[in-house]
Structure 1
Amino acid sequence: MAGLRLGDRVRLPILAARRWPTTQGRGSRYPTETPDRRLGPHHYHPSMELWERSSALDLLDTLLHKSATGGRIALVPGEAGLGKSALVTAFAERCGRRARVLWGGCDRLVTPRALGPLHDIGRQAGGALAARLGAGAAQEEIFAAFLDELSGPRQRPRPVIVVEDVHWADEATLDWIALLGRRIGRLPVMLVVTYRDDELGPEHPLRGTLAMLPGAVVRRIPLLPLSRECVGEQARKAGRDPAQAYRLTGGNPLLVTELVKAGGRTVPGAVQDLILDRLRALSAPARELARLVSVVPTRADAAIVAGAADLVDVCVDAGVLIPAGDGVSFRHELLRSAVEDALSPPRRAELHRRVLDVLVRVPGIDPGQLVHHARHAGDLRAVLRYGQLAGADAARQGAHREAAAHYRAAIDHAGRLSPEQCAGLLERYALQAYLAGLLVEGLQARQQAATIREELAQPEQVAENLRWISRLAWWTGHSAQALAAADRAVGVLAAGRPLRQLAMAYSNRAQVHMRAYEHGAAIALGERARALAEQVGDVETAIHATINVQTARLADEAGDAQAALEAAHERAAANGYVDLAVRAKLNLACVTAEELAQYGNAVALIDRALHYAREQNLDGYAQYLIGARAHVRMQRCDWAGALADADAALARPGQFAVTAVMPLVARGRIQSARGNPAAISTLDEAARRADQIGEAQWLAPVAAARSEYFLWNGDTDRAADEARQCLELTAPVHQPFQLGVLAYRLWRAGATDCTATAVAVPFQLMISGSWAEAAAEWAARGATYLRVEAMSAGDPPAAVEALRTLDSLGAARAAGCLRAGLRRRGVTGMPRGPRRSTTAQPAGLTVRQVDVLALLADGLSNAEIAGRLTLSRKTVEHHVSALLAKLGVANRVQAAAAYRNHHSPR
């Protein structure tokens, strides 16, 4: 490329002449043009004017004022080019001395930078935050330093945190935003988040983060396309046809700006034509520079364009590039992408190769950037080398999904490694894949690693991989494979000296016993594993074994087991064993719910476990816990919450049998009670998943739900068969509540051949006709729906109370069966049930409330709903409060989920 020498360390005169004030220090002012994206916004340019954005600016100003008494969050969604960055830049300019703006952004890399925006902010803030980021500290230390930075000297201007393009964020960044959201109410800080809402599919992780933000302090700043009048006015000034201008741009401010700048030239048909038309007016060397910059997401640093000051001047003066810190960038990602997409594949690869050659010599460069350019350049050695470095870096920062992606890229070229190096890479990838919930991928990697370790005659590493194969096989619903791998891991090491791997193999086998309700064997083998681990000083395995032992003891109702599991969690968390820490909390919550039927206590325990899983980016565990909570909420008669959880659990990618069964049961039982024709297909899918696992803890709830369904639909023979077959299969496990629900369903179906002996007391009371005692027992356990079942067999006042509860839940099929039974008993004066006009709607909402709910489910704010329905905003607020109460949900997200569940086919 003529006149352009990559890698030369030369100061660029054009950039020196346009140096921007930094945001560091007190009372700094903000530029009206683009500073370094790491020090401020990166898409705005003075030629892109803020048309029709005064109300949005005023709203941001109001939120800044309110943040003095408690933090505020401004969400600025919108499609590309709608002016999000321009708006936030103008707001930063308005802030002046009132605020200290710290700015970070997410990049459109193949694999996102781990904590990319926080690194940007750390460079501005300096101090402990920058030091911990630079030292690769643990995520908790980095987050603590950030919160300390926000709580700085009182005389410092109020912090405004801007995070741009969060739709490209890595999972650690999303955790950081969620953390700030939880703390912001107690801090005098304002958080501004921009993102492209048109790129958020139903499974996009940002949706979950936004749902976690406290609604009381969140305000959505709607950005609408420019009006026809505004576009027409700008078009007339540029000598263009207003109607054609609006048709070409759709009111997108960036496209309007580009169209106006195109002057009287032929009207191009798309943004790519706009920018390429401008490129054609440049000299060949300047065009080459612009193309080079186009393959660098966000901006090209000084090192990339060093030695090309004159060409930089030409591109800036032509409006193709803009200064950005000590480098240059396109004004908007749309424009950069347009130029990059127009390159031929060989040309694009060549430019990525040039950038890579420069960046590898830049001290402290993020290895993730090197992987991005190496992959696009087709440099296999570089992908292998930097993929491993980037994976380790992301893993340290808790970005497990990004770490797995980097390791995956390296594995594709692992044929260049020695067998031992290859096995090690597969094992590191498998761990990150497991923590990210990519369970099939993790299982496959462990199997490959085990094969290599066997060929290398390394029994300790073989056993370790077999232990992980056992764990991952269970997660993916292959319990027989899990058992075989656990036994083989013990067999590989049993003849050897006391080793950590032998202790862990014993502990893993104890875990298999524990899951099968073989509590005596689990405790004995777990204690053996713990003693061996303590003997060799292996803290991790000792904690692993302790969790298995105490989980089995908790299921046997040992009084001190809960405290022991809490202590195991604390010890695991303190030592950085996040997988063990979350497993201690999960086991405590799930045993409390499903094996002890203490549903009132289980809700808080699940929420605490879920909070920890999300904090640590443990997606698989989070998915499992959300599904477990769906079942608990169903039993608690929080059906809107149960359906919202079931939707969330079943919609997540990487669905497996162990994460699917309980949310399917919760959804299927609610559908059955409501007479939804989709109920049987839901329960069929639950049965298919439970059969795949083959363990009692999954088979029993599914069979009981199916028996209930057939009973309500008048097929008592099928109802009895479902319960009887599963009872015969699971009777050897002696789990009282699992066997109890099956025995009760068999009795309800009219059968008298139940031989189960280990039946939980509340079910014994129901079967014996002691409905009042059973109802009291269920009430004490927080089992609201089971209490309703007990009362439905009681005297007329109790049965009528149960009927009213079923009516309030919209359980038309269950209520109909109870009404028919009461009529046969001669009971009169029963409530007639909801009118048809309200049963057609969820929870008896009025027609207007359903209209409001439908728009709420589409993501509209109260102000937008008011405008759409021609109501006052206060009236809409009243409607929203009423429908939340009727649906029994806590927030708008759960209300939207309830609406979608009611109005979409299952």
Structure 2
Amino acid sequence: MVSPVFVGREAELGTLSEAFEEARKQAASAVLIGGEAGGGKTRLVTRFAEQAASAGAHVLMGGCVELSTEGLAYAPFTAALRQLVKEMGAPDVAALLPEGGDRDLARLLPEFGEPSGDKETETGRARLFEQFLTLLERLAERRPVILVIEDIHWADRSSRDLIAFLSRNLKDAPVLLVMTYRSDELHRQHPLRPVLAELGRVEGVARIDLPRLTEEEVAAQMAGIRGDVPEWSLVKSVYRRSEGIPLFVEALMECGDACSLPESLQDLIIASVERLPEETQRVLRIAAAGGNRVGHELLAAVTDLSDLDLEAALRPAIAGNVIQVADGRAYAFRHSLIREAVHDEMLPGEHNRIHARFAEEIDRDRRLVPPGRAAIEIAHHWYSARDNLWALVSAWEAAGKAHAAFAYTEQIQLLERVLSLWDRVPDAAERIGVSHTTLLELASEAAAITGEPDRGLKYVKGALAELDEAAEPERVANLLVRRSQFKIDKGRSDAADHLRYAERLVRTPSAARVRVLSRLGSYLMFTHETQEGAALTREALGIARDLGDECLEAELLTNLALGQSLDGDLEAALLTNQRAIEIGERLESPRIVLRALANNVDALNNLGRSEEAVELALRGEAKARKYGRYRVSGAFIANNRAEALEALGRWDEAVEIIERALTMDPLPRTRGYLLRVRADIAAGRGEIDLLAAVLADIGGMHGQPDEFAQRWMTNLRLNVELHLLRGNPVEALRAAEQLLSSRTPHSSKPMLGWRSMALIRLVHQAAESIAPELSRQTWAKVQEMVESLPAKGAVAEAYRLMCRGRFDEAAAAWERLGRPHTRAVSLTEAAAEAAQSGDRDGAASRLREAYPLAAGLGARPLLTTIESLARRVGAVLTESPKEPAGALNGHVTAAELTPRELEVLRLVALGRSNRDIATELFISAKTVSVHVSNILAKLRVSTRGEAAATAHRLSLLT
């Protein structure tokens, strides 16, 4: 009793159509459709998909199933991928992906051949996400794409993460994501809630809450079902009893006058089933145990019926629209609520027996279920059958399949099921071929990959309790290394103790010792103990070479280069990384090549070869895209490019790169680095609130000396900048004191140690008249420290000149390096010294040189300082007295606006909104907002209209 007429939902259909039109304009969007069970979500998206397909869209469909909550990973995406392969063929789909990308997708669909042999478990899932993103973008180059994912309230963790990832990253491609979920099932602890909250903050994501039908709409639905206009008294009765839920309207129309008011909604739904023949009901109960969709061959095998007998039994259910014939010789319940109601009617013994039959038949012939689903289907059915032995065995197999698909959260769930059943199966170890300790080790490894330190520590503790370190020292050492990582993740300070203990357990040169030394060495280098860390790394390097393990050798070379970089020996770091790149290219290991290349981008920037750094980064990012590793490796290289651009004063470009990389959901470490570069730009532009927000986000308000060196030093330097911007030099001085802690050796890497020392010179000058004693003590510490801090390279030397107060020389050095902000700061300080000595003309000339540099950057705090000093010395900040400086009268020249700002200003003058400008320039609306703010500041106006008028008056757009 389904209405052939589409009733109501016109407004919702309009919202979907608008979102599709937005997507067609190269602005990807997403729509979340929430509604009660039976509320018509599927009918709505089906109608929309039909209309969109007829308009030329490529519609891909996928749905989550209840099995997902037990560990069936990526179900909706696998379904969509299977549809795509059916439409295009696997070779054509593979041709859309980066080199080797199809081998990642082979973990989900066998049509793509053998999965990649890549064992990089920590980055595998990120690569898989990137392949899906690339696939959708490439498909959308041909025609607009709509991906419909139904029932995401059942989505597994991996699918939820992939949904969030795609929603954030499908920015410019004409792709529309449409997702449905049962809003009435979202209890307070439901795992979908935080995902919905996150998606609600993503630009371009709309939300539809599907209401119940009105009384008039129920009447229209009934008229469609009946084929004539129903009596109004009947409409009122059905509306009252159904409460406007379409599925219940259909159920009430099905049972007609014979249907009395049911005690529950389940009674109402099951009523249409109970009127079917007994044999049909029996087959439906069996089908319900198989899920919402069951293949004909599988159902025939489980029911022990011939094809003819099965068809005869199901025919009444098909005629009654309880079950429908689906593609691929399968049967699907018309609605999941009907399946749930039928399943709940089974008796306990019947329930166990039927689920066991499903498990047996699928295990006998795994082709009876879609590819990739057999293991989890079998595990689900044996667990539902309450057969402890086979539930354990099948869960172990399914956990292995989840691991192979990079679905580590689902792997943990299944391993925990094995652990929970362990004591109920006397010969469990013999049955699955591994010990209880091995299970705990595997669970701890998966917890490390998914970033769950509390869970991981529990597994490590359990495994260590079962091991004898005298009998199995290497195994214990590996667990201690993993425990140290969990401690680091939790911010604990005892990680080094576990690593040193592990090192004492594996004294003999071996692969195990190399692994421990590699982790201990890099940890020590990151936590200020560079010399010891480098020595341990060199020892590990020697062992790896003796073992003939080139992959380990390359990894250790990149670690060694890290130590050289932190020590300021950047030329040596370049050479060491290059050796690692050569090995990586020979081994065809993208991970090694990209990691070493990223480190060389950083080294070039610290050497002052920032333009070269930018070019190398662009090549590295192109390689990362080619290898399908942009989110894993490319985002880190993009961070280093942004850092080089920040140094070169190309701040707008850097901000755009950072914002785009952040939407890629990079690894947590990379995200922190990106935010720190953004904080540097915020400090330069005087964006105090943004700087404070970033510091709070990265946990940098109160840096501790035992944190990793780069994070700790940068966080504290940014704190110093924040206090200075807030006009509190004494607090800045106290933060500088912490940075100068005698317990913490400083890195001589130019952008870390020397940059901090030069900043503290400025703090000392600002606080000298307010807190002379504290300022004097702080400055004395700086002078003592820099005596032992080598200045290797042009950047370190330029910062050293600033630290020594030789600002004219520093300005010349920064000019040679092409770094406008530090050059303008040095010129301003030199001007202040000249003014103090009575050289007003010298001060004025330096300020006139510094002013356009600061204005071009939008460096408002520095501009304020320059303007203030210019007023004190009576300086005019432009060479021509006919064109006074914008700092004094609000006039600027086109040269003082960046090329991107001129583009934005031109569109502002045309009356375009931020969203329109973003679409036209292919940037985010947030980036446009930043540009507009900078333009208003430079033009010394407060509104967009004033900016447009000023642009025309000063001929800035000609």
Fold-level match, TM-score > 0.5? Answer: yes
Counterpart of 1:394? 402
TM superposition shift of 1:434: 3.2
Residue pair 1:466, 1:486 contacting (<8 A) in 2 also: yes
What does residue 303 of structure 2 align with? 306
Trace 1:666-815 onto structure 2 (pairs within 5 A). Answer: 666=678, 670=682, 673-676=686-689, 679=692, 682-683=695-696, 686-687=699-700, 690-691=703-704, 693-729=706-742, 730-749=744-763, 750=765, 751=775, 752-753=779-780, 754-755=782-783, 756-757=785-786, 758=789, 760-768=796-804, 774=810, 786=822, 789-790=825-826, 793=829, 795-801=846-852, 804-805=855-856, 808=858
- Residue 716 of structure 1 deviates from its aligned partner by 1.5
Q: Which residue of 2 aligns with 1:564?
A: 579
Following the alignment from structure 1 to structure 2, what is the Cα–Cα distance between the partners of residues 396 and 243?
56
Contiguous gaps of at least 5 residues in structure 1? 1-43, 151-169, 836-842, 854-874, 900-906
Q: 1:329 matched to which residue of 2? A: 332
Instruction: Flag the 1:267–1:192 CA change in 2: closer, same or farther, 3 A.
Output: farther
SS in structure 1 of the partner of residue 758 of structure 2? helix
Alignment of 1:278-427 (within 5 A): 278-282=272-276, 286-287=280-281, 289-302=283-296, 303-304=298-299, 306-307=303-304, 309=310, 310-324=312-326, 325-333=328-336, 335-336=338-339, 352=355, 355-364=358-367, 366-376=374-384, 379-414=387-422, 417-418=428-429, 421-427=435-441
How many Å apart are 1:746 and its aligned residue?
A: 1.6
Cα shift readout 1:670-726 (whole Å, capped 9, x = no counterpart): 389334399289459733674285232122111111111222222222211211321
Count of aligned pairs = 781
Q: Is the CA contact (8 Å cut-off) linking 2:506 and 2:512 kept in structure 1? A: yes
Give the corresponding residue for 1:113: 73
Q: Which moves more between the two structures, 709-718 or 517-526?
A: 517-526
1:444 deviates by 4.5
Contact 2:376 2:395 in 1 (8 A): yes
CA deviation digits over 1:788-844, x for unaligned, max 9?
6456546333443355356x57x6x77656655554555566646999xxxxxxx9x
C-alpha displacement at 1:458, in angstroms? 1.4
Contact 1:507 1:526 in 2 (8 A): yes
SS at match of 1:687: coil
Alpha-carbon contact 1:387-1:410 (below 8 Å) kept: yes
Give 1:624-635 correspondences, 5 Å limit.
none
- Secondary structure of the structure 1 residue equivalent to 2:651: coil
Task: Decide which moves more: 414-423 or 319-328.
Answer: 414-423
Distance 1:407 1:487 in 2: 30
Separation in structure 1 between the aligned mates of residue 816 and residue 110 of structure 2, nearest angstrom: 44
- How big is the shift at 1:513? 3.9
Matched, 1:882 2:837: no
In structure 2, C-alpha distance between the alignment counterparts of 1:535 and 1:316, rounded to whole Å: 70
Q: How far does the alpha carbon of each residue in 1:556-592 deviate from its partner, in whole angstroms, 9 at most, with x for none?
A: 2124344334335445654xx96x6665466556666
Say if 1:507 and 1:541, in contact at 8 Å, map to a contact too.
Answer: no
Match of 2:194 in 1: none
Displacement of 1:316 in angstroms is: 2.0
The equivalent residue for 1:548 is: 559
Inter-partner Cα distance in structure 1 for 2:635 and 2:347: 42
In structure 2, how many angstroms separate the alpha carbons of the residues matched to 1:337 and 1:706?
57
For residues 425-444 of structure 1, give each alpha carbon's deviation from its aligned partner in whole angstroms, at most 9, with x where no partner exists.
33333334433444554455
CA 1:329–1:605 in 2, change beyond 3 Å: closer, same or farther? same
The residue aligned with 1:430 is 444
Aligned to 2:220: 233
Tell me how large the CA RMSD over aligned residues is.
5.9
Alpha-carbon distance in 1 for matches of 2:46, 2:80: 21
The partner residue of 1:487 within 458, 480, 500 is 500
Q: Does 1:195 align with 2:149?
A: yes
Q: How does 1:386-535 map to 2 (within 5 A)?
A: 386-414=394-422, 417-418=428-429, 421-442=435-456, 444-454=458-468, 457-478=471-492, 480-481=494-495, 483-494=496-507, 496=508, 498-516=509-527, 521-535=532-546
CA distance in 2, matches of 1:610, 1:197: 37
Aligned CA distance change for structure 1 residues 345 and 145 (closer, same or farther; 3 Å): closer
Spell out, residue by residue over 1:41-87, the C-alpha distance to the aligned partner (whole angstroms, 9 max, x if none): xxx99958598889989x99x999x99xx999997764461536624
Paired AA for residue 545 in structure 2: E
Conserved? CA contact 1:178–1:209, under 8 Å: yes
Contact kept? 1:630, 1:646, Cα under 8 Å: no
CA distance in 2 between partners of 1:99 and 1:788 (Å): 53
Structure 2 counterpart of 1:716, one-letter code: P
- Conservation of the 8 A alpha-carbon contact between 2:3 and 2:222: no
Q: Contact 1:427 / 1:445 at 8 angstroms: preserved in 2?
A: yes
State how 1:147-162 maps to structure 2 within 5 Å: none
| Residues 503-512 or 353-362, more deviating | 353-362
1:676 maps to a residue whose letter is: D
The equivalences for 1:206-245 within 5 A come to 206-213=163-170, 215-218=172-175, 233-237=220-224, 238=226, 239=230
- Which amino acid is 1:391 matched to? A
Distance of 2:604 and 2:716 partners within structure 1: 21
For 1:117, give the aligned amino acid.
A
- Identify if the C-alpha distance between structure 1 residues 684 and 106 changes in structure 2 by more than 3 Å, giving closer, same or farther: closer
Percent identity reads: 17
Deviation at residue 545 of structure 1 after TM alignment: 1.8
Q: Which has the larger radius of gyration?
A: 2
Deviations 1:349-374, CA, capped at 9 Å, x for gaps:
77655543443333355212233444
Asked whether the equivalents of residues 72 and 184 of structure 1 are also in contact (C-alpha less than 8 Å), the reply is: no
Measured in 2, the distance between the counterparts of 1:780 and 1:249 equals 78
Contact residue 398 and residue 616 of structure 1 kept, 8 A: no
Instruction: Identify if the C-alpha distance between structure 1 residues 798 and 334 changes in structure 2 by more than 3 Å, giving closer, same or farther.
Output: farther
SS at match of 2:294: coil
Q: C-alpha deviations, 1:752-784, integer Å up to 9, x for none?
A: 422232362232343455667656766777867
CA distance in structure 2 between the aligned counterparts of 1:451 and 1:610, rounded to whole angstroms: 47
Deviations 1:301-320 (A, max 9, x none): 33245346244223222211
Give the direction of change, closer, same or farther, for the CA distance of 1:149–1:295 in structure 2 (3 Å limit).
closer
1:717–1:458 Cα change, 3 Å: same
Residue 184 of structure 1 aligns with which residue?
A: 139
* CA 783–335 in structure 1, closer or farther in 2 if over 3 Å, else same: farther
- Cα distance change, pair 240–45 in 1 and its aligned pair in 2 (3 A): closer
Q: Separation in 2 of the partners of 1:389 and 1:148? A: 17
